[in-house]
Structure 1
Amino acid sequence: MLRTLDIRDMLLIDRLSLDFAPGLNVLTGETGAGKSILLDCLGFVLGWRGRAELVRAGASQGEVTAVFDLPPGHPARAVLDEAGIEAEEELILRRVNAADGRKTGWVNDRRVSGEVLRALSDALVELHGQHDDRGLLNPRGHRMLLDAFGALDLSGVRAAWAARRQATSALAEAEAAIEAARKEEDFLRHAVAELEKLDPQPGEEATLDAARRQMQAAERVRGDVARALQMLAGSGSDLGAEGLIVEATRWLEGAADKIGDDPEEGLAEPLAALARASIELGEATRGVEDALARMDFDPRALEAAEERLFALRALARKHDVLPDDLATLASELSARLSALDAGEARLADLQQALREAESAYDTAATKISAERRAAAGRLDAAMAAELAPLKMERAVFETRVTEGEPGPDGRDAVAFTVATNPGAPAGPLDRIASGGELSRFLLALKVCLARGGEPLVMIFDEIDRGVGGATADAVGRRLARLAEGAQVLVVTHSPQVAALGQQHFRVAKSVEDGITTSRVAALDAPERVEEIARMLAGEEITPAARAAAQALLTAGAPA
């Protein structure tokens, strides 16, 4: 609900603050008094695109503030959440228009763009009138309005559409993948065969390189170690170090027997040293023999290691990968080749899945189409009942449901059409109906489509134009019905409509010191009698006009 509207230095208004009430709020005044200015200012703070020059002459800037009640679950809360603004029970919109044309907006003291204000506007306010291109006259919204009227459950067709899209996407992706694979089929088959033949393993290159280096090193030093062993152990006629020590020991032992035990001439210590040297020499010889045995390898093993290492590196360069990644590459290429080989079978499965999804969507869309046509019939009947009291019993309203582009909500196109005279061709609302007729069509349509507890503030701009008497009374009664449990703002010239308002504002224009100013005042009961009498009688208000005004107010008062 719109609680207050505060205007500063906008158009003909210098200072104005209005408090609105639930139910039907009416604004009256003489032609040119400035009633439309209030709507211009409300539209400005809601981000609507309207007049370019809004700042009052002589002012540096104009400002409008609107305060709305925002109960839990209100659609505007979702807009605030998306904009990152914390929702409260009170929503304050403020917008400033500088004299140079710059516009700045705030929501609950958070600066926002005009786009955010317009998104909030769609959740807060609904304008109805002859230029209502954002609401009931917009054909793009007719299907949604019909679905809401018929309380249609679209979850089934939306789920079927999502499944159909998913099946279509899966098939397209598979076809693209197979087509790409076919283009490289020869390469894949050759590469997979080459990789399978080599069978590279992760870490194999490092292992082969280490073994190759070890064998190459052994090949270089083995001859030196063998010669060292020959020096130590001897071979053939060559006694070697060990043989020489044995010979030296034998000669010294013989000499020792001849010398006897004379300490000064004895050979015991040299013989003991040679014994120790023989033991150490034996250990050294065995160690060299063991080392030489470890260096023993098959030259063919070195050749095989080098050949495989070179093959791994050459294949890695060919595919521009590291040797350790060849095994992974082999798996990937094999998988692509397998996908190609199994592609036809998979395509057949996906094509069958798509046919099933399309069939399910067709079934759901056909069901929704039938429900829409049934709802269209009920809406047309409801409109006929509403148009008769509005003196349009000869007019025909028809909801046309035709085949359109498939989508998540089905494949129907919906358009509201009218024929104002029997036998005349039907056409869109805004092209067939005249100004007064269009206003009554829109009112009847809104009455039929209205839901209880309407969260939107409904604004009707001179929707009773061109009607009077009983028709004006019928318009007022329908506006009052819309205002039950909701809030409706009506700009009206009709005393019958004005008499039904729960809150009545009078707009008047005055000139002081050459400056024109519009004023708006909330009327009490006696003032309402005078204003409605003026609307009935004109400039000279007669007792009969006052009596008629009182009668209208009494008739419009709630029972």
Structure 2
Amino acid sequence: MIEELTLRNIGVIERAELAFSPGLTAITGETGAGKTMILTGLGLLTGRRADPALVRAGQEQGVVEGVLTARDEAELAEWAAASGGTLDDGALLVGRTVPANGRARAHLGGRAVPAATLAELGDRYITIHGQADQQRLRSPAHQRAALDDFADHGELLGRYRAAWDRLQRCRADLADWEATAARLAAERDRLAAGLGDIDAVAPRAGEDDELRTRAERLANIEDLRVALETAWAILSGGDDAPGVLGDLSRSSRALGGVARYGAEIGDWVSAIDQAITLLSEVANELGASRGELDADPRLLDEVHARRAQLAVLMRSHGPTLDDVLSWAERARARLAEIDALPTSRQAVAEEEARARDEAERLAAELRESRRRAAGALAETVNRELRRLAMRGAHLHVRVEPTSLGPSGADDVTITLAPHPGAPPLPVASAASGGELSRIMLALEVALARRPGDHTFIFDEVDAGIGGSAAVEVGRRLRDLSRVHQVVVVTHLAQVAAGADRQLVVSKRVSDSGATTVVTAVSGAERERELARMLAGDESPTALRHAKELLARADVGP
């Protein structure tokens, strides 16, 4: 609830400090005195747009500050901490600074915050009911929440939301499984295709080097053949020449005949014989190689084709043939891992189906309860409207199925037929500003079940009414103030008389200009203010009627 509100240089208000009752506070004053600026200040504290035109003429900035407290201090402290602020001696300090030039600033609990944080504060703790401020019915979600409040669906909604959260997790698990299954299938296909290509070629380690050597050999086979023939002929000789081996044999025999004349001659003979043995082996190999040389060009084409196959594999999995063989080894191991994973989605899908069935069961239970509550809420509000001078108006609450969501599977629509025979229309379109405030008063009274920390602010709630209807409006405001803080801006003494505290807004004019002041009145001052509201003067008759109103309201002067 709002304990204090301070405004400095806002519109016609130079400085005003307002202390609100925890019950019902009435704000009164003549038209044009500046009551709207108080509502504007409250709007700034709840994140409304900050217009530099609000700053008092000649001033650099306007400031609005509020002190908020709650019965549930721990909850308020937790919300403030989540928003970046702290409580000061159990109170939350909120402020908004609006410069004449530049951007507005917001503060909450000693920290600078975005204006959106103040809007969250308003959604949670403060509701302004005026012609342009119907927060309670501004969206289907708010209308559904109002019906759920009336039906006391907290426990049922908690069970449904737990089931909805479980369904969302199961859906995410199923989506993850399907995405993973698709990814693994794609990975398996890629690995299998790569291994198929490699297995079709069946490369061997080092084969690329062997083929490169062989290709070079085949490309130069004629030069190789001439070289081999020449070397073989030199070693083995031919028809016209004995060859190197023949010459060495003759040398060995010649030296062998004189070996007895010196030990070194025997060593020479041994060395020549060893050379003959080695060169004979070389000559034999040269002779054999001569016969194996084949100049068939198809052999070279086959080598080139094989090298091309290996090059394809190395481009895909290389850059070297060793890399290709290593990739194939890893791919076979990964395929074995994938093939070992579960391949059935049945268990995951069955869990998702069970979660969906539970959510749908609870959603159906919610719908049935909402439909019962819709009729009761409409009947309760319509009964209140008849007492609030809206006898011909009729509120309708419709519950229609929709897809599953975080709050069930229902769309809730609240409409109003302003008079008999008129079609039901959205409430904001079917009622004037004053009627709209009275509708919201009737709704809030219907929803008020237990004490809370919310503040309700009503503007124009008494527009166009008087007499017994005004008394009923005052009575309903007082009923609501027993469970929530209520602030009402009113022109009717019948409404103001029921307030626990009355604040009078008045304009004072001096040579330096006009300014607005706010004064809390009690005792004789309050009687005079009520008399002014009743008759426009402080005549004895008006003062007597004012005392009677206060006595009837049982709040004391």
Structure 1 length-normalised TM: 0.72
Alignment of 1:164 onto 2:167: yes
2:374 maps to which of 373, 376, 379: 376
Aligned to 2:502: 504
Cα gap change, 1:98 to 1:433, in 2 (>3 Å): closer
> How far apart, in 2, do the equivalents of 1:52 and 1:405 lie?
44
What are the residue-to-residue correspondences of 1:129-208 with 2, within 5 Å?
129-152=130-153, 153-183=156-186, 185-189=188-192
Cα gap change, 1:192 to 1:352, in 2 (>3 Å): farther
> How far apart, in 2, do the equivalents of 1:320 and 1:56 lie?
83
Larger mean Cα displacement after TM superposition, 82-91 or 549-558: 82-91
> How far apart, in 1, do the equivalents of 2:110 and 2:335 lie?
60
Q: Tell me by how many angstroms 1:375 deviates.
A: 1.6
**CA RMSD across the alignment:** 3.3
Aligned to 1:453: 451
Which letter does structure 2 place at the counterpart of 1:419? A
> How far apart, in 1, do the equivalents of 2:496 and 2:198 lie?
90
Q: Is the 8 A contact 1:68 1:90 kept in 2?
A: yes
Aligned to 1:388: 386
Q: Is the 8 A contact 1:76 1:123 kept in 2?
A: no
Measured against aligned partners, the alpha-carbon deviations of 1:371-405 in whole angstroms (never above 9, x if no partner) come to 11112122122213212211333322121101223
Q: Tell me by how many angstroms 1:107 deviates.
A: 2.4
> How far apart, in 2, do the equivalents of 1:155 and 1:5 lie?
36
Aligned to 2:247: none
Aligned to 1:407: 405
Aligned to 1:120: 121
Which letter does structure 2 place at the counterpart of 1:80? A
> How far apart, in 2, do the equivalents of 1:140 and 1:458 lie?
19
Aligned to 2:260: none
> How far apart, in 2, do the equivalents of 1:505 and 1:519 lie?
10
Aligned to 1:49: 49
Measured against aligned partners, the alpha-carbon deviations of 1:218-259 in whole angstroms (never above 9, x if no partner) come to xxxxxxxxxxxxxxxxxxxxxxxxxxxxxxxxxxxxxxxxxx
> How far apart, in 2, do the equivalents of 1:31 and 1:365 lie?
50
Q: Tell me by how many angstroms 1:356 deviates.
A: 3.0
1:552 maps to which of 543, 549, 552: 549
> How far apart, in 1, do the equivalents of 2:68 and 2:39 lie?
16
Which letter does structure 2 place at the counterpart of 1:127? I
3-state SS of paired residue (1:458)? strand
What are the residue-to-residue correspondences of 1:265-276 with 2, within 5 Å?
none
> How far apart, in 1, do the equivalents of 2:325 and 2:91 lie?
68
Which letter does structure 1 place at the counterpart of 2:387? P
Q: Tell me by how many angstroms 1:454 deviates.
A: 2.0
Q: Is the 8 A contact 1:4 1:20 kept in 2?
A: yes
> How far apart, in 2, do the equivalents of 1:103 and 1:73 lie?
29
Aligned to 1:205: none
> Structure 1 regions of 5+ residues with no counterpart?
197-312
> How far apart, in 2, do the equivalents of 1:93 and 1:319 lie?
72
2:363 maps to which of 352, 362, 365: 365
Cα gap change, 1:138 to 1:530, in 2 (>3 Å): farther
Structure 2 length-normalised TM: 0.72
Which letter does structure 2 place at the counterpart of 1:17? E
Q: Tell me by how many angstroms 1:178 deviates.
A: 3.4
Q: How many residues align?
A: 445
Q: Tell me by how many angstroms 1:550 deviates.
A: 1.1
Q: Tell me by how many angstroms 1:472 deviates.
A: 0.6
Which letter does structure 1 place at the counterpart of 2:94? L
3-state SS of paired residue (1:135)? helix
Aligned to 1:266: none
Cα gap change, 1:324 to 1:120, in 2 (>3 Å): farther
Measured against aligned partners, the alpha-carbon deviations of 1:339-374 in whole angstroms (never above 9, x if no partner) come to 5xx53xx13443343333322222121111111111
Q: Is the 8 A contact 2:71 2:452 kept in 1?
A: no
Which letter does structure 2 place at the counterpart of 1:376? A
> How far apart, in 2, do the equivalents of 1:531 and 1:501 lie?
13
Which letter does structure 1 place at the counterpart of 2:338? R
Q: Is the 8 A contact 1:189 1:337 kept in 2?
A: no
> Structure 2 regions of 5+ residues with no counterpart?
200-312
3-state SS of paired residue (1:63)? strand
> How far apart, in 1, do the equivalents of 2:95 and 2:367 lie?
44
Cα gap change, 1:555 to 1:323, in 2 (>3 Å): farther
Aligned to 1:228: none
Alignment of 1:108 onto 2:109: yes
Cα gap change, 1:321 to 1:135, in 2 (>3 Å): farther
What are the residue-to-residue correspondences of 1:212-361 with 2, within 5 Å?
330-339=332-341, 343=343, 346-361=344-359
Which letter does structure 2 place at the counterpart of 1:425? P
> How far apart, in 2, do the equivalents of 1:436 and 1:106 lie?
33
Q: Is the 8 A contact 1:499 1:532 kept in 2?
A: yes
1:425 maps to which of 423, 426, 438: 423
3-state SS of paired residue (2:5)? strand
Q: Tell me by how many angstroms 1:96 deviates.
A: 2.0
> How far apart, in 1, do the equivalents of 2:324 and 2:463 lie?
83
Cα gap change, 1:9 to 1:323, in 2 (>3 Å): farther
Cα gap change, 1:363 to 1:318, in 2 (>3 Å): farther
Q: Tell me by how many angstroms 1:5 deviates.
A: 1.5
What are the residue-to-residue correspondences of 1:3-152 with 2, within 5 Å?
3-49=3-49, 51-73=51-73, 75-88=75-88, 89-152=90-153
3-state SS of paired residue (1:53)? helix
Which letter does structure 2 place at the counterpart of 1:465? A
> How far apart, in 2, do the equivalents of 1:174 and 1:321 lie?
33
Q: Tell me by how many angstroms 1:173 deviates.
A: 2.8
Cα gap change, 1:51 to 1:477, in 2 (>3 Å): farther
Q: Tell me by how many angstroms 1:121 deviates.
A: 2.6
Aligned to 1:229: none
> How far apart, in 2, do the equivalents of 1:320 and 1:30 lie?
96
3-state SS of paired residue (1:397)? strand
Larger mean Cα displacement after TM superposition, 515-524 or 354-363: 354-363
> How far apart, in 2, do the equivalents of 1:53 and 1:425 lie?
40
Q: Is the 8 A contact 1:129 1:461 kept in 2?
A: yes
Q: Is the 8 A contact 2:184 2:338 kept in 1?
A: yes
Aligned to 1:269: none
2:468 maps to which of 467, 470, 489: 470
Aligned to 1:248: none
Cα gap change, 1:436 to 1:90, in 2 (>3 Å): closer
